[in-house]
């Protein structure tokens, strides 16, 4: 089993999704989460998220179909176990983009085959300006996200790796280097 | 302190020194060991090793000047503490090329700032043919080295990383990736 499970987290607006999109699709399978939040303009069901209503989400939850789930801003987010199986059957590295709070449980669940990566903006000031330039949310939502980011940053030191997403190319190279390095772990190398 | 201590080990003939020479000198300081063994043709004192006699080595040992030392094939090898200081003052990553047996103590001594990398040939067959093509040693020495290599390989799984040195460019990229990844450890990243 030479595939990695990459648990990625970090504040909204850190440039996580841009970074993840820059990674080669032939090597990485990006887990699609279920969510009860409304799609943003341009977001596609089944690609960005599986957009479901509260009733559907809670039914899946009851049937134990989620690997992890969380409630944020009155909406549910969850990773369905079926997504994991999809990734493994394609022989790709699995990338799980999850909320900070869910990382510790996932690490315990997967054991040493999973590594956690925290993606952070260079500073809270940069994060604020990114959130404002996005211009999809009102002032209250931005403030809520910034407060949340401050909290999330306090978790960073518990991750295996931290990538400061300042320059996209450098951040991408760091991500790929982490993957290459982890593939050199003794239990993954044939010799 | 953003510098790494890279403790590198592996069987003689694994291509360790070729790999290490391929790494950029402006980033890596290669610790020069003291040894009592005779220089091979082309080896330079102060560059490949500090070649010293038994008496000098034992005096240094008594004065506590070695970070680690070992006896192999009736010769002494040791890393002088002064080498470490040289590396740090230049702000470079320190590369220590040491015998397998010394790695565990160095890891304990340095703590989490040091990582261990085992460099291995693709197979014992490849190692044997490399040792023979080197043509600097007699049959007995080659057999001694091969037996030693078999033993050393059993230590590989205790290292942080294993690099199979088959293709030099790929091995180099793996080495550099390990360094880049380790620089993303939370305690090394400013955010």
Residue B190 lies in a domain: no
Q: How far apart are CA A96 and CA B58, in angstroms?
A: 56
The DSSP 8-state label assigned to residue B39 in this structure reads P
| Partner residues linked to A162 by β-bridges | A118
Question: How distant, in Å, are the alpha carbons of A43, A163, B96 from that of B31?
Answer: 54, 30, 5
Q: Which of A6-20, A63-77, A130-144 has the lowest mean pLDDT?
A: A130-144
Tell me whether 0.90 is exceeded by the ipTM.
no
Q: How confident is the model at residue B1 (pLDDT cuts 50, 70, 90)?
A: low
pLDDT average, residue stretch A122-134: 85
Q: Which of A136-145, A149-158, A170-179 has the lowest mean pLDDT?
A: A136-145
Are A177 and B174 in contact (CB < 8 Å)? Answer: no
Q: How far apart are CA A175 and CA A30, in angstroms?
A: 14
Residue A117 sits in a domain whose CATH number is 3.40.50.300
pLDDT average, residue stretch A25-52: 94
Per-residue pLDDT, A36: 97
Residue B149 lies in a domain: yes
Query: Residue A150: in which H helix or E strand, if any?
Result: helix A139-153
For an interface test with B, give the residue of A10, A159, A180 to mutate (most B CBs within 10 A). Answer: A180
Residue B174 lies in a domain: yes
Residue B98 lies in a domain: yes
Q: Which of B101, B105, B84 is nearest to B93 (CA)?
A: B84
- Based on the structure, what is the number of domains in chain B? 1
Nearest residue, CB atoms, B181 vs list A120, A157, A178 = A178
Residue B104: give the domain boundaries. 5-185
| 3-state helix, strand and coil shares in percent for chain A, rounded to the nearest 5 | 45, 25, 30
pTM over 0.90: no
Q: How far apart are CA B23 and CA B4, in angstroms?
A: 14
* Apex A30 CA angle, A74 and A47, nearest 5: 65
B173 touches chain A (CB under 8 A): yes
Provide the percentage of residues in chain A whose pLDDT is more than 90: 60
Cβ–Cβ < 8 Å for B2, B185: no
Per-residue pLDDT, B129: 87
Are A185 and B156 in contact (CB < 8 Å)? Answer: no
| Partner residues linked to B78 by β-bridges | B34, B69
Question: How distant, in Å, are the alpha carbons of A36, A53, A99, B3 from that of A79?
Answer: 12, 15, 11, 38
Are B186 and A118 in contact (CB < 8 Å)? Answer: yes
Cβ–Cβ < 8 Å for B184, A162: yes
Residue B191 lies in a domain: no
Neighbours of A65 (CB within 10 A): 16
- Structural tokens at position A11: 């504040």
Residue B12 lies in a domain: yes
pLDDT average, residue stretch A3-32: 91
Residue B95 lies in a domain: yes
Per-residue pLDDT, A1: 55
Q: Which of A143, A189, A174, A177 is nearest to A13 (CA)?
A: A143
**Residue in B with minimal Cα distance to A190:** B164
> pLDDT tens for residues B74-107?
999 999 988 888 888 999 999 998 889 889 889 9
Per-residue pLDDT, A2: 78
> Which SS3 state, helix, strand or coil, does residue B28 take?
strand
Provide the percentage of residues in chain B whose pLDDT is more than 70: 99
Q: Is pLDDT at B136 greater than 80 in this prediction?
A: no
For an interface test with B, give the residue of A116, A179, A182, A184 to mutate (most B CBs within 10 A). Answer: A184
Q: Is pLDDT at B134 greater than 80 in this prediction?
A: no
């Amino acid at each position: 089993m030479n595939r990695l499970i990459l648990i990625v987290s970090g504040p909204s607006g850190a440039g996580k999704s841009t970074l993840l999109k820059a990674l080669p699709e032939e090597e990485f399978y990006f887990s699609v989460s279920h969510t009860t939040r409304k799609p943003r303009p341009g977001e596609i069901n089944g690609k960005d998220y599986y957009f479901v209503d509260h009733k559907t989400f809670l039914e899946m939850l009851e049937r134990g179909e989620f690997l992890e789930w969380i409630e944020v801003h009155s909406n549910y987010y969850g990773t369905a176990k079926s997504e994991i199986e999809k990734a493994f059957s394609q022989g790709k590295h699995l990338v799980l983009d999850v909320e900070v709070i869910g990382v510790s449980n996932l690490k315990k669940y997967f054991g040493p085959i999973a590594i956690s990566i925290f993606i952070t903006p260079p500073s809270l000031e940069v994060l604020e300006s990114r959130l404002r330039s996005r211009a999809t949310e009102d002032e209250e939502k931005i403030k809520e996200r910034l407060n949340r980011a401050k909290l999330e940053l306090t978790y960073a030191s518990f991750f295996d790796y931290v990538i400061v997403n300042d320059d996209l190319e450098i951040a991408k190279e760091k991500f790929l280097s982490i993957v290459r390095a982890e593939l050199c772990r003794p239990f993954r190398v044939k010799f």
